[in-house]
Amino acid sequence: KQEVTQIPAALSVPEGENLVLNCSFTDSAIYNLQWFRQDPGKGLTSLLLIQSSQREQTSGRLNASLDKSSGRSTLYIAASQPGDSATYLCAVYSGNTGKLIFGQGTTLQVKP
């Protein structure tokens, strides 16, 4: 059974710092991995999608990497800003079932 874990559960950093969020999964047979952002009381916003054949994806100050063999992905946020404060979730499409399985998220606070 696929399990997705995100560490740390919460993170607080000063503005301007570069930071890394971690995501690990137990079954390497994934089709893709997706990173989302969730603001309090809101839905999820897609940030980056990495296909299983890709190693990384970049969007602005965000860079996501994928190491399928080791079951790990990282989300790198450069020059963090207070507006980046949110919960970040990773999710994998597992096997051939069409299920998107989520980690529990990392809640990020960027202090001015």
Q: Tokens 């309090």 identify what position?
A: 40
Task: Name residue, tokens 């992905």.
Answer: 73
CB of 6 to other proteins, least distance (A): 9
103 CB-contact burial (10 Å; exposed 0-12 / middle 13-18 / buried 19+): buried
User: For other proteins, which is the closer residue by CB, 51 or 70?
Assistant: 51
Phi, psi at 82, each rounded to 5° = -55, -30
**Which amino acid type is present at position 5?**
T
Instruction: Provide the 10 A C-beta neighbour count for residue 69.
Output: 7
In the region spanning residues 87 to 106, those forming contacts with other proteins, defined by CB under 8 A, are: 89, 91, 93, 96, 98-105
Q: Which x/- pattern over 36-75 shows residues binding other proteins (rule: CB under 8 A)?
A: x----xxxxxx--x-x------------------------
Q: Which is nearer to other proteins, 14 or 43 (CB)?
A: 43
Interface positions with other proteins (CB under 8 A): 31-32, 34, 36, 41-46, 49, 51, 89, 91, 93, 96, 98-105
